[in-house]
Structure 1
Amino acid sequence: MSDRARSPAAARAPRALTRFSVALRTPPGAAEPLLAQAPRAWQRRLPYLVAAVCVLTLVPVTITVLVSQYRLGGGWAGALGVAQAVPLLLAVTRPLAAWGLVLAADTLGAVLLIDAGGVAGHAWPWTPMAVVGYLVLMVCLGLRETVRTLVAVWLVTGGVGVVLGFYRPAGVTDTIALLFVLGGTVLALTGALRGLGEAQRRIAEQESISEAERARRTLLEERARIARELHDVVAHHMSVITVQADSAPYRLPGMPEPVQEEFAAIAASARESLGEMRRLLTVLRGDGKESERAPQPGLVRLQQLIETTVRAGQPVELSMAAGVPEAVPPAVDLSAYRIVQEALANVVRHAPGAPTRVSVSRAAEEADEVLLVLVVNGPAPEAVVALESTGTGHGLVGMRERVRLTGGTLDTGPLPDGGFRVAARLPLNASDEDDS
């Protein structure tokens, strides 16, 4: 029962330690304060608060002890108290510089205490206040500097103590080994804690990279699957339609001339669709070299698209201003063609035989010039049955994505008379900047 009661607390302790170590991710040598990356404001202010409390405590205590117990002059005692404690405020942002100042002040204090009248029977060369302040400084160093720097600081501390040991006054309590051992222990513990934070950071970065790689691999696998489906199903059926349409005049002799032309138009449309599907398969499979060489359709081929739709029995009128195809950027050119193509396909599926108007023009809006694409169809004849009574809406989604890529807007919706309207506004100036 007691094991169960302790288990939640035992599980929370490592998590708290890990979160604290992650907050210690301060670059070595940077002027960024300790815990600057902590999530809460009070945590970021905590190092300043601790340093201020240490300074306010050590300065008066150091002066009092040096004067009353070591019998050092009041002026020297005050100077040493300030020099040994105040640099701890600098340790929050620059602990290595603060260490140099504190070590120099502590060494000077040890030299001055050699001739002090009350040094016998007391700690030397490091007084108790100097040891406390030095250990606080070691915490700041361990949480901030690299392992090589920490080892150098530890060895220099021991070396200074050894040199001072040759001038040890009689009857003092030696604190050289005490500071050397405690300082090394504090540096090791805080350095390990900071190393844990660095390890957690690297693990998080590696997990992010692995997650991105997994997402990319999943995307490539899905694209490959779609490409296989398109090739095995759709491309096969389109090939069959092409062969049947081309061979119909030979298999069914005596067909009227209009019927033969209709089969020829069906075969041409199927071949064109197969060509575009091959380019799409190339993109899905990740090999973009062939697709980059293949020309993309644009407004120049819009008349051909209208004629193909008319041959399918759909009455369509095209109105396009002169010079528009030549003055449109490639991205807008392709988007405008695809929008008209999808809109006409929707009319053929949902309102066959409905009169349709396609309008493409340029217009000036304030400082920008835009391309206006409008496709409007009336209601379908009552005697005609729609090829599809419902839809997935993927066509309209594709239109919106194309318009969004060019920075334009799309307006779609039914009309009061039962028809439908597709209006796209594609900026020309923004596209020019993007292409450049």
Structure 2
Amino acid sequence: MRTLLPGRVGLAADALLAVALTSVAVLLGQEASSQGWTALDACGYALVALVNLPLALRSRAPVAVCAFVHGVWFCYVTAGYWPVVNTFGPMLAIYTVASLRPARQSIPWAAVMAGIWIYAGVVSHSDSLPSVVGQALVFPAVLWRFGTTARRAAELAGRLREEQAERARREVAEERGRIARELHDVVAHHLSVIAVQAGLAGFVFDSDRDTARTALATISGTSTEALDELRRMLQVLRAGDEDSAPATPMPGLARLGEMIERVRSGGVRVDLRITGPVRPLTPGIDLCAYRVVQEALTNVLKHAPGASASVDLRYTARQVEVIVADDGQGVLSDKVRPGGGHGLIGMRERAKLYGGRVDIGPRSAGGFAVRLTLPTSPQAVGEGDDTPE
């Protein structure tokens, strides 16, 4: 357990409290003779100081201070001085032990305080011994209860801080994962197109200048678009508040045609089919669908050269479904396992974030297929596809 207050601040506060209790005890001791008790002498004042001043170290060594305070208090009572004068120090010592140590350590000391309290009533021949016994049972119990409550509150606060720190670490990890997926999607797709076009341009540079120029133009346009997307990502990361927005819009299914044209320019024939009424989607779902299609076509471009692909986009009442398939005769499925690869993991993570799912695997007729299903309403989460095959 931690001290009641941290570091030097806690020690200074405890020292001031000890001095204050000592001053109160000294002032109260001056009334001892008027209450029929022996007036404090030099020994009495010394015992008062020894009971209260050690409380300055109560947060550093609560059990040791409590033991010392109760030992001196016992001597004070045995010497025949007014017991009430020195009750505040032992009370604070019991509260401190209960607030900083477990019950197995604090309960015995509460019992010790009760015993000394009763002992004080017996040796002083009090006429109201039942009242003294009642006080001896109630006061330590109440102080112990207050201290235990403070200790539990401190433990709960500590656990809360730990949970908040853990949540912050998870959020940082999730944000890093999101950024990594975005970078992978942007860089992998555009660089794959650039690599294919660069190879084509180099191959036909001397024999077919027109094809080489077209390939170089594709490289220029693709690299420009990649830079725009990276610039948009950097603007989002640098944004200091929610009002800051990137200058360029996030890509979505409305730009699916542009992406498909880039893939076609890389030598992959891609057919696009849209079923159902096209309607706007929320930005997150729109970007998720776009990125999954982008990753799937990038894999076709990298791992199944010469294959043809199809993109089926289906809008239903509560879902949007995208199926990207190729006829690469197992070329892609041999190189990219459904459970591995950063791109495939990113697909699943994106879909999971929005309550959807991704099914990835080889087709029975040959080739490879990626099927994404995303709910477009909260009621659709967890439901199957409501469009017949």
TM-score, normalised on structure 1? 0.46
The structure 2 residue matched to 1:379, chosen from 318, 322, 328, is 328
CA shift for structure 1 position 335 = 2.0
Aligned amino acid, residue 425 of structure 1: T
| Greater displacement, 312-321 / 424-433 | 424-433
Question: Within 2, Cα distance between the matches of 1:225 and 1:420?
Answer: 26
Amino acid in the other structure paired with 1:338: R
Rounded Cα–Cα distance in structure 2 between residues aligned with 1:310 and 1:403? 26
Deviations 1:300-330 (A, max 9, x none): 1011110000001111111124751x34333
Match of 1:263? 216
Q: Do the aligned partners of 2:319 and 2:380 also contact (CA within 8 Å) in 1? A: no
Q: Quick one: which of 288, 301, 306 aligns to 1:353?
A: 306
Work out which of the residue numbers 131, 140, 156 in structure 2 matches 1:188: 140
Please tell me whether the aligned partners of residues 359 and 374 of structure 1 are also in contact (alpha carbons under 8 angstroms).
yes
Q: 1:202 is matched by which residue type in structure 2?
A: A
Distance 1:282 1:180, change over 3 A: farther
SS of residue paired to 2:249:
coil
Shift in Å, 1:347: 1.2
Deviation at 1:193, TM superposition (A): 3.9
Aligned partners of 2:144, 2:303: CA distance in 1, in Å? 70
Whether the aligned pair in 2 keeps the contact of 1:379 and 1:419 (CA below 8 Å) is: yes
Query: In the aligned structure 1, how far is the partner of 2:134 from the partner of 2:315?
Result: 80
1:328/1:397 CA distance change after superposition, 3 Å: same
Q: Is 1:389 paired with 2:335?
A: yes
> Gapped runs of 5+ residues in structure 2?
2-97, 99-124, 382-389
1:278 to 231, 251, 264: 231
* 1:320 matched residue in structure 2: 274
Deviation at 1:225, TM superposition (A): 11
**Residues 323, 330 of structure 1: alpha-carbon distance in 2 compared, 3 angstrom cutoff:** farther
Matching residue's letter, 1:372: E
- The amino acid of 1:310's aligned partner reads R
Given the alignment of the two structures, is residue 430 of structure 1 paired with residue 384 of structure 2, yes or no?
no
Q: Answer whether contact 2:267 2:306 (CA < 8 A) is retained.
A: yes
Seq. identity, %: 34
Are the equivalent residues in 2 in contact too, given 1:329–1:431 (CA < 8 A)? Answer: no
Residue 133 of structure 1: aligned partner: none
Tell me the matched-pair count: 245
Task: Write the mapping of 1:232-243 to structure 2, written as runs, cut at 5 A.
Answer: none
Structure 1: 5+ residue stretches without partners: 1-13, 15-141, 143-172
| Paired letter, 1:335 | C
Shift of 1:211: 4.8
Larger Rg computed on CA atoms: 1
- 2:348 counterpart (388, 400, 410): 400
Amino acid at match of 2:218: A
CA distance in structure 2 between the aligned counterparts of 1:219 and 1:356, rounded to whole angstroms: 37
Q: Within 5 A, what are the aligned runs for 1:21-420?
A: 176-180=128-132, 182-213=134-165, 216=168, 220=172, 256-284=209-237, 287=240, 290-291=244-245, 294-321=248-275, 323-324=277-278, 326-364=279-317, 369-379=318-328, 389-390=335-336, 392-420=340-368
Matched residue of 2:290: which SS?
Answer: helix
Question: What is the CA-CA distance between 1:399 and the residue it aligns to?
Answer: 2.1
SS of equivalent to 1:361? strand
Cα-to-partner distance string for 1:13-66 (whole Å, 9 max, x where unaligned): x9xxxxxxxxxxxxxxxxxxxxxxxxxxxxxxxxxxxxxxxxxxxxxxxxxxxx
